A and B are shown apart, each in its own frame.
Chain A
């Protein structure tokens, strides 16, 4: 390449510099650092904070041996499957389908409520659901009034409680994705299927869903990634408790790193979470098959 061509290529790439420097320093940097620190015994304070040393796979071995880690993994899986893959996904698809044949006023009002739950900050959503499910909350009041037994939901089934709250908060996203996908399905195809006698569930399963299958995959990946990093919602509702009955991986990681000061161990947990996130993110990229 001649000198002027090189200079021109440089000038053209120059506007990329600020964003690239920031992304390298504050996103790529910490990721690389975590790949190193996860193999050390670094701590928030004390001797290990000043002179951390390399301890190999010790942090990961500690995680695999720890019942708390296993508990967190199981709860994270439960939370993700219940609230994202089943709850948000199915309810979002259901709403998007129903919205097509509801009357206009109903569509606008119900859509506003669902979107409202999505827009309000997650800490507020946490408090609203705390109030709804608490011993003295609305749900128990209602159950009591109808003669059904009340119970302390946040204590008896905390992971179910936070999952419900996450369905409430996140369904709007799936609804938006599916509404956009369904609006691109040609009406003629579904009408033709109806003429041929395919009704209800069968038309949905055999005709509509295959047509929007790429949106289904992207939606599943995106809501899984969002659900994997939920922190504030659970933290305000149960703090991971009672005991550790709703302590998902992010809350466990937070407790180990900042409450117990085990930065090295916490970083190893972060690396696990990042790796899972990276895998889902790659599947999402492949599923999108976007031409950039």
Chain B
């Protein structure tokens, strides 16, 4: 009796299970096909950069180099084209990131630790500011820089880049700091440590992955920023890589496309490497999407 009862049911589940499995397999194949197609569409524009950079007679279309060589890289690897703009970029973005980090770590501490009256309005203002279009701000900022005699100064540009990075950095940093338990600090406070000592000796060592994430993220967005240095800096000798790529290759009628590709690759490489570091640190980039989401 028991056997006759269970058998048909077993048979039926196995049957539908198999059907469902084959349908799932078909669906996976179909999904993979669509994903690969989208992936190819995303890859083709990049392919041009990769192939043209090793092709000394490269045009604008993707083509396999007949004599692959590093001639393009040799041609752009000199003080005026590559070294100085990259160095300027490092100074501007390194300095800007330092300002953002110091400001954000300090500001995040009271915002994370104390329930004060100004905490909520302050954080809401910060969050609101992250949404404002910085591009629109550059005309009045230029006006301010004229007044302060800061136009075409590296220092002024560093300070502005650092400030523009602050809102998002404070928000991220505060969220990371919330994750550090307050109990250790309370012990330190009773032992007579000041707030800043507690921040430096207890909180910061515990949240260095968070600080690294904010640092890398800030640096990446500054490295790619074109408009801010384009408006605030004028002398060719002070321009970072993001702007000099435009002034160097945009002004001449006869562009050496292979060299342009090689230079673009050299300029983009640091952020790609940093992003790989960042996504490893976050255990997949998806957490950052979550952090952005709030």
A residues neighboring B (CB under 8 Å): 9, 11-13, 15-20, 22-23, 25-27, 29-31, 33-34, 37, 42, 91, 95, 98-99, 101-103, 106-107, 109-110, 113-117, 119-124, 127-132, 134-138, 140-141, 168, 173, 175-177, 179-181, 183, 215, 218-219, 221-222, 225, 228-232, 235-236, 250, 253-254, 257-258, 263, 266-267, 269-271, 273-274, 277-278, 280-282, 284-285, 288, 290, 292
Contacts and interface: CB of A to CB of B under 8 A. Distances in A.
A215 B293 contact: yes
B48 A250 contact: no
B45 interface: yes
Contacts of B136: 228-229, 250, 253, 270-271, 273-274, 277
Give the secondary structure class of A's interface: helix
Nearest to A287: B294
A131 B102 contact: no
B163 A18 contact: no
A257 B136 CA distance: 11
B293 A37 contact: no
Interface stretch (B11-19, B66-74, B118-126): B118-126
A128 B272 contact: no
B285 A176 contact: yes
A138 B103 contact: no
Contacts of B42: 110, 113-114, 116-117, 168
B133 A229 contact: yes
Given A106-B36, A137-B60, A127 B293 contact: no
Contacts of A221: 131
A122 to B, nearest CB: 6
Contacts of B142: 257-258, 263
Contacts of B48: 128, 131-132, 138
Contacts of A42: 143
B272 A119 contact: yes
Give the 4 A-B residue pairs with the shortest CB-CB distance, closest first: A176-B289, A281-B131, A232-B226, A229-B133
A120 B140 contact: no
A242 B262 CA distance: 28
B159 A26 contact: yes
A258 B140 CA distance: 12
Interface string B109-125: 11100101011101110
Contacts of B271: 119-121
A218 B293 contact: yes
Given A134-B60, A225-B131, A121 B224 contact: yes
B61 A19 contact: no
A274 B35 contact: no
Given A110-B36, A114-B39, A12 B195 contact: yes
B202 interface: no
A11 B124 CA distance: 22
